[in-house]
Amino acid sequence: MNREMYETILNMPDFMEKALKELKLNGEVPLEIDGIAFFGMGGSGIAGRIVSEWLNYEWGVNVYSYNEITIPRNLSRNTLITLISYSGNTEETLMAAKNAINGGYKVAVISSGGRLIEIAMEKNLPHIIIPRIFSQPRESLPYLFTAAVKMLMETKLIGNVQLNQLNDCIETLYNVKKGLNTNNIPKILAEKVYSKIISIFTYTPLTPAAIRFKQSLNENSKVMAKVEVIPEACHNAIMEWEENPEILKNIAMIIIREDVMKERLIEISINTLKEIALQRGATVEELHASGSNVLSNILSAIYIGDLVSIELANIKGIEARRINLIDYLKGKIRSSIYM
């Protein structure tokens, strides 16, 4: 079951390599850009968030990411507003595009087609077109993410040193892929957390991996999940472990972390959180990020997390690609807005 989607995810490093070669910017990004803000929803929006976290954390480049309709007032007019939507027809992203254009911002587009590419053509906006080869937007992440990096290269906000990190990251993902032949970590993890509500714990800069993991668990595995960020989680979420033991039996804690922690305070916090959750009868597991830079850490964790979500769908005997409720809601929005 879900063989096709599993293969698509498994090919993440191959798709990134292909995208890096194939994707081209149409038009030119304006000069005097001092930052980029990505706007997009769900599987498309997460691409902007990964780029944002990586580049802010390691390099201090002004890259922001929003899942919103309105453009935050404090963004400078020299920020390139970049709309990302795989389909090009996401209602919220089209509204954000309209708000950005009407607001006099510099605007760019990343999409496979739809209304968003039409707007880009009409308004002569710089845009990158993604091949329309994926069944679901969330499967197109390797392309959307690589397109976001290409857009940043074109603005000269980043250069070869970041490109080298991206290549290192692809190498890391190939290594993870090879490792799966001898040790099917995603399957083992899925079996351990089956039939639980999943409480994901992580820390900056791995947060985008936790958010994507939640999205994949929601959409592919149809399970309930939440994200807690350490150290903030130590000041409130930790109290969820005083919940009654019957509820706690339904919870699996999954910690997304590096093998070797850089920050001692975070390491102590993780160990204590684990100790408390285990004492109270919850399932506790770890998902390890690999690679030598923040981007590799984030994407290797996403890679494994995505595979876990498919394995979990297989165990539950459900179709990972079907998302009836999202389609239903989108239909409601479309029909109500254009009435």
Residues lying near a second copy in the complex (CB under 8 A)? 41-43, 45, 56-62, 67-70, 72-74, 91-92, 95, 195, 197, 199, 204, 214-215, 218-219, 222-226, 229, 231-232, 234-244, 247, 250-251, 263-265, 268-269, 272-273, 276, 323-326, 328-330, 332-333, 336-337
Q: In angstroms, give the least distance from the CB of 74 to a second copy.
A: 5
Q: In angstroms, give the least distance from the CB of 193 to a second copy.
A: 13
> Given the complex with a second copy, which of 299 and 323 has the nearer CB atom?
323
Peptide bond into 245 cis (omega under 30): no
Q: In angstroms, give the least distance from the CB of 11 to a second copy.
A: 22
The Cα–Cα gap between 247 and 317 comes to: 24
> Given the complex with a second copy, which of 146 and 199 has the nearer CB atom?
199
Of 172, 187, 171, nearest in space to 307 by CA: 187
Q: In angstroms, give the least distance from the CB of 196 to a second copy.
A: 9
Report strand pairing: 63-66 vs 197-203.
Answer: unpaired
Helix ranges restricted to H, the chain = 3-10, 12-22, 42-59, 91-102, 114-123, 141-154, 160-179, 185-193, 207-221, 245-248, 264-279, 294-316, 324-337
Q: In angstroms, give the least distance from the CB of 324 to a second copy.
A: 8
> Given the complex with a second copy, which of 57 and 174 has the nearer CB atom?
57
> Given the complex with a second copy, which of 13 and 45 has the nearer CB atom?
45
Place of tokens 């929601």: 218
Q: Which letter does DSSP use for residue 232 in this model?
A: G
Q: In angstroms, give the least distance from the CB of 60 to a second copy.
A: 3
The Cα–Cα gap between 250 and 283 comes to: 8
239 close to 250: Cβ distance less than 8 angstroms: no
Nearest 10 degrees: Cα torsion 51, 54, 59, 61 = 30
- Which run of H or E residues covers position 252? strand 251-258
Collapse the DSSP code of 27 into the 3-class scheme (helix H, G, I; strand E, B; otherwise coil) and give the result: coil
Amino acid residing at 55 = L
Q: In angstroms, give the least distance from the CB of 203 to a second copy.
A: 9
> Given the complex with a second copy, which of 93 and 290 has the nearer CB atom?
93
> Given the complex with a second copy, which of 159 and 179 has the nearer CB atom?
159
Other residues' Cβ atoms within 10 Å of the Cβ of residue 55: 23
The Cα–Cα gap between 55 and 149 comes to: 10
> Given the complex with a second copy, which of 141 and 273 has the nearer CB atom?
273
- Which run of H or E residues covers position 283? strand 283-289
Q: In angstroms, give the least distance from the CB of 328 to a second copy.
A: 7
> Given the complex with a second copy, which of 21 and 60 has the nearer CB atom?
60
